[in-house]
Structures are given as structure tokens and as C-alpha cells.
Amino acid sequence: KHIKTNNPAAAIKSKAGFNYVKRHKRTEFIPALTSYKDGCIYSEIYKKSGPAAVSSFGYMNSIVSIPGNAGEIHAEELVDAYLL
């Protein structure tokens, strides 16, 4: 299902549908596919996705923000998703 928001620049909270390990202490923005299913909003990243992965741009409809102080993101954790 499509997710609608009045302010597309605002972040929405979504559950991570992925596990992600950061290698740097800076904030990262990962291309993602955000959708509504089973009563929750989920964001999933392309299996070979990363902040510089151009191959995932055809797959995404959002960008997930991974904070600089987060070492790992586990499935079902809340993350900020920015819809595009």
C-alpha cells in the first residue's frame, strides 16, 4: 500500500525489515523500500544496499537514516524513513 503524508520532507517511524552493521560513526542514509503491511510500516533495504549503492535507486521509495551513534540496526527496530 502507498503511504501518504502531508509533509514529504518529514521523517516517519518505520520498523527495520533488515539488519545493518555500520562501519563509521557518521550518520548514514540508506536507500529503502518503505511499505505498509500487517498493520505496521516497514522499511527494507536492497540486499547490496549502502549509502553509495547506485544499483538500489530503482528499488527505493524512501531513504532510511542510520544515526551516527548506532553501531548496528536489528530487524524490527524503529528507524526514521524519509519518503521520496
Span 47-69, pLDDT tens digits: 665 555 566 567 788 999 998 88
Half-sphere exposure in the Cβ direction for 54 (13 Å, CA): 0
- Predicted confidence (pLDDT) per residue in 11-20, tens digit: 899 999 999 8
**Pick from 1, 77, 74, 10: nearest CA to 34:** 1
> Residue 32: how many CB atoms within 10 A of its CB?
29
CB 14 within 8 A of CB 1: no
